[in-house]
Amino acid sequence: MGMTIVEKILAKNSGSQSIVPGDIVDARVDVVMLHDIGTPGIQRPLKGLGLDGPSPDVECVIIPDHFVPAPHVQAADNLKLTREFSKRVKNGAYYEIGRGGVCHQVMCERGHVKPGQIIVAPDSHATTYGALGALGTGFGVTDVAIALGTGNLWFLVPPTTKIILNGNLKDGVSAKDVILYLLSKFGEERFIYSAIELEGEIIEAMDMEGRMCIANLAYELGVKACLIKPDATTETYLRSAGVREFSAVMPDADAQYESVIELDLSDLEPMVAAPHSPSNGQSVSDAAGVKIQQAFLGSCTNGRIGDLRKAAAILKGRKVHPDVRLIVTPASQAIYAQALEEGLISTFIEAGALVTNSGCGVCLGGHLGVIAAGETCISTSNRNFKGRMGSFEAFIYLASPETVAASAVAGVIADPRDYRRNS
Residue positions counted in the chain: 423
C-alpha to C-alpha distance for 297 and 330, rounded to whole angstroms = 8
Mean pLDDT of 69-86: 97
C-alpha to C-alpha distance for 399 and 149, rounded to whole angstroms = 39
C-alpha to C-alpha distance for 278 and 276, rounded to whole angstroms = 7
Buried b (16+ CB within 10 A) or exposed e, 312-344: bbbbbebebbeebbbbbbbbbbbbbebbeeeeb
Q: Which residues share a beta bridge with 397?
A: 378
C-alpha to C-alpha distance for 139 and 52, rounded to whole angstroms = 20
Confidence of residue 423 (pLDDT cuts 50, 70, 90): very low
Confidence of residue 1 (pLDDT cuts 50, 70, 90): confident
Pair type for strands 59-62 and 92-94: parallel
C-alpha to C-alpha distance for 421 and 314, rounded to whole angstroms = 10
pLDDT for 420: 79
Picking from 112, 127, 136, the residue whose alpha carbon sits closest to that of residue 243 is: 112
Whether residue 77 has pLDDT greater than 90: yes
Mean pLDDT of 217-235: 97
pLDDT for 53: 87
Query: pLDDT tens-digit profile of 241-262?
Result: 999 999 999 999 999 999 999 9
pLDDT for 74: 97
Instruction: Indicate the CATH number for domain 5-263.
Output: 3.30.499.10
Query: pLDDT tens-digit profile of 259-286?
Result: 999 999 999 999 999 999 999 999 999 9
Q: For the CA atoms of 231, 179, 402, 409, what is the dihedral angle to 10 degrees?
A: -160
Confidence of residue 422 (pLDDT cuts 50, 70, 90): very low
pLDDT for 304: 98
Query: pLDDT tens-digit profile of 402-412?
Result: 999 999 999 99
C-alpha to C-alpha distance for 141 and 195, rounded to whole angstroms = 22
CB 51 within 8 A of CB 88: no
Query: pLDDT tens-digit profile of 310-338?
Result: 999 999 999 999 999 999 999 999 999 99
CB 186 within 8 A of CB 285: no
CA-based angle 171:303:354, to the nearest 5? 105
Instruction: Indicate the CATH number for domain 272-418.
Output: 3.30.499.10
Q: At what angle do helices 208-217 and 232-240 cross, to 10 degrees?
A: 100
pTM of the model: 0.96
Mean pLDDT of 102-107: 98
C-alpha to C-alpha distance for 383 and 402, rounded to whole angstroms = 18
pLDDT for 52: 82
Query: pLDDT tens-digit profile of 176-195?
Result: 999 999 999 999 999 999 99
Query: pLDDT tens-digit profile of 117-136?
Result: 999 999 999 999 999 999 99
Between the CA of residue 64 and those of 95, 241, 291, 355, what are the distances in Å?
A: 7, 20, 34, 19
C-alpha to C-alpha distance for 24 and 16, rounded to whole angstroms = 11
Which part of the chain has CATH 3.30.499.10? 5-263, 272-418
Picking from 272, 271, 249, 275, the residue whose alpha carbon sits closest to that of residue 195 is: 249
Q: How remote is the C-alpha of 161 from its chain's centroid? A: 20
> Among residues of the chain, what percentage have pLDDT more than 70?
99
Whether residue 421 has pLDDT greater than 80: no
Q: How far apart are the first and last CA of the chain?
A: 54
Pair type for strands 271-273 and 395-399: antiparallel
Mean pLDDT of 193-220: 98
pLDDT for 396: 98
Q: If DSSP states are collapsed to H, E and C, what string results for the chain?
A: CECCHHHHHHHHHHCCCCCCCCCEEEEECCEEEECCCHHHHCHHHHHHCCCCCCCCCCEEEECCCCCCCCCCHHHHHHHHHHHHHHCCCCCEEECCCCCCECHHHHHHHCCCCCCCCEEEECCHHHHHHHHHCCEEEECCHHHHHHHHHHCEEEEECCCEEEEEEECCCCCCCCHHHHHHHHHHHHCCCCCCCCEEEEECHHHHHCCHHHHHHHHHHHHHHCCCEEECCCCHHHHHHHHHCCCCCCCCCCCCCCECCCEEEEEECCCCCCEEECCCCCCCEEEHHHHCCCECCEEEECHHHHCCHHHHHHHHHHHCCCCCCCCCEEEECCCEHHHHHHHHHHCHHHHHHHHCCEECCCCCCCCCCCCCCCECCCCEEEECCCCCCCCCCECCCCEEEEECHHHHHHHHHHCECCCHHHHHHHC
